[in-house]
Chain A
């Protein structure tokens, strides 16, 4: 078990190093950072001075190691456009994205698993069939369209919810939260639904398929033959087995919620890192883009690691396999 965890941690580190290399190459090879920093009126001496300052005259590997050193200390460089440290800009924007992604993920998992179980147990029910049919729409409509539809219905026509922005926020230390004001709570509803709908549908359909599979297994038949109650069978025996394969996909989906936040943030003008990234692309603000890329990959890698470790918590067969493989 321990050996497996250590190996997974090393794998994760390796992935991050590779992503770091890509991010670093963006710095180095997409446009000339000196051009970006100095503007039009520059002398050859200015250029040389800046090159020396930035360490651009060092050999490539040394530059990369320095870059990694900076990144691990949270130093992502200075935004070309805003002239401020990228780390500060991202720290400002991160709470908005994390709150949005968190609410979306919660919606996706709670409703995805809940409806998946419901539609599996009531396989032939009218309500279950209706949910399954509607869910096809959730899978097939693109995110931005869902966002625009929701804005049209609930913001434009009904006027119940705001169509853009985060509402009022409250500052808790460096974290700005929208959860503590009414306008903040109202503002997060539409973007959270837009962002989480696809993942919710996906999780629901997966849970349903897995659950139907599990309900056909011999150990469920045997559980019935032992006279266990329907509740114990569905939620004690079937659901736990359903979750084993569902966890991976769910983990990946949560990762992609954060990544897809770009679209939702653009549609709703949500002041998060996704919107920051879109704006950075427009201005070729390489340090911001690179930092965003690194952050997203750290998220993905972390989620993957957690998913793998969750397996161990749920499935006793894995601990045995992995420890026997580990020796």
Chain B
């Protein structure tokens, strides 16, 4: 990747506590190319949302970026003054949240919220902004946009509201959209449509997407690359096709097993036994070792870093050259 749109370098996010800092996101690295869709998967608490918030410059205190850097088109953005960060939000990077029912201010019409966003970032007149707003609603598939724009959020269904949220996120033509579980709160019947709208509208505008989800199936259909997160770290990152065909990290292998297929019943999903460790209780060595059926001695002592494996990177001792050379693995 020669000129990435976004680079996250050695990002560490901590929560200070009485007993010392808790590290929720631990030394994360990834790049994002212009127009690329990066899926981020992982169990609840893996640090997906925190990573998204950090990129937006919207970490809720007391959470803070303890170290690392975030670069947007060759400019470092994580240490900018507040006002400069605000100017980036919505304009260059925007966000779609999980629950469209609570993302919109109930006391303002859709038009008011769209026009306010557009005019915060672009120097256009009220009527010009309104025209753009109607165009945006059209784009995201709100029928009769011109008439419905003056409605209040509660007059729309959940799916329609999420379309409005997407329109708001796209209002100032951002270069990157971070969508944090954009369909989790929606009825199953509209989930696919919302993902389609998001994908289509972002690619029409050339915007990159970071799509955070629990659903490996969505990533398989939508993303170019995928980052699998576990316990605040990236376990495996690479092209979706490669990883789906041949998952290398034992945790990814487990996740793949949990993609539902039509032939399988819900309750027959393969689940990885056990659960992710709490932040104050992360085991020594590889954080996955208590649940890993291929763990060996070294896994309980040293923490693996990402290792290049062709098109992808994997953080697992199984692929470490010296380990392989010693032939330690049975």
A residues near B (Cβ < 8 Å) are 217-219, 221-230, 232, 236-237, 240-241, 244, 314-317, 320
Contact = CB atoms under 8 A, between A and B. Distances in A.
Contacts of A228: 90, 116-117, 120
B156 interface: no
B102 A218 contact: yes
A232 B120 contact: yes
Contacts of A237: 105, 108
Contacts of B117: 226-228
25 contacts: A219-B102, A219-B105, A222-B97, A222-B103, A222-B168, A225-B58, A225-B90, A226-B89, A226-B120, A226-B168, A226-B171, A227-B86, A227-B88, A227-B94, A228-B90, A228-B120, A229-B86, A230-B86, A236-B116, A237-B105, A237-B108, A244-B107, A316-B106, A317-B154, A320-B154
B92 to A, nearest CB: 9
B227 interface: no
B121 A227 contact: yes
A315 B107 contact: yes
B203 interface: no
From B56, B99, B107, name the one whose CB has the most chain A CB atoms within 10 angstroms: B107
A240 B109 CA distance: 13
B152 A226 contact: no
A244 B165 CA distance: 24
Contacts of A222: 95, 97, 103-104, 165, 168
A316 B107 contact: yes
Given A218-B99, A227-B87, A317-B152, A232 B107 contact: no
Given A314-B107, A320-B155, 16 more contacts: A219-B102, A219-B104, A222-B103, A223-B105, A224-B58, A224-B89, A225-B58, A226-B120, A227-B88, A227-B117, A228-B116, A236-B116, A237-B105, A237-B108, A241-B105, A315-B106
A208 B145 CA distance: 38
Interface in B122-159: 152, 154-155
Nearest to A217: B102
A227 B92 CA distance: 10
Contacts of A315: 106-107
Contact of A225 (B56, B87, B99, B109): B56
From A218, A241, A244, A317, name the one whose CB has the most chain B CB atoms within 10 angstroms: A218
A241 to B, nearest CB: 6
B249 interface: no
A232 B116 CA distance: 9
A198 to B, nearest CB: 29
**A-B pairs with lowest CB-CB distance, top 10:** A227-B90, A227-B89, A218-B102, A226-B90, A225-B95, A316-B152, A222-B103, A219-B105, A226-B117, A317-B154
A325 to B, nearest CB: 15
B163 interface: no
From A219, A221, A237, A317, name the one whose CB has the most chain B CB atoms within 10 angstroms: A219
Nearest to A124: B61
A218 to B, nearest CB: 4
A225 B94 contact: yes
